[in-house]
Amino acid sequence: MSARVFAYMLADDAERYTSAALAEGLRVSPAAISGAVRHLTATRMVVKERQPGKRAELYRVCDGNVWGMVVAPGSRFSSSGSPRWRAPRSSSALPAVKATD
């Protein structure tokens, strides 16, 4: 869901989004949006803001080079920065696949 929210924010014309606007635009539940924006703000791909005098939180794509942040060596997303993205060292770590006709 995080990927859908992020892609929507990149593709849509608005600069800032409320959770309700994201839920309506993606036709998903507010709970799904809540988890997705929590993940996106934790990874600093999305910034959470408040408009003065309003209670609703607004979300926007962070300023700067988001793609560069994702693929930069040593980032938590690149293969050199996180072991969870690396391929298994041996073929025995991969599940066996049977060929079917």
Name all domains of the chain by residue range, CATH numbers in brackets: 2-82 (1.10.10.10)
47, β-bridge pairs: 60
Confirm if 18 and 34 have CB atoms less than 8 A apart: no
- Least confident range from 39-48, 57-66, 78-87: namely 78-87
Residue 67 has pLDDT above 70, yes or no: no
| Nearest Cα residue to 40 out of 14, 10, 3 | 3
The residue-averaged pLDDT of 3-32 equals 92
The residue-averaged pLDDT of 5-10 equals 92
Q: Which of 36-40, 87-91, 93-97 has the highest mean pLDDT?
A: 36-40
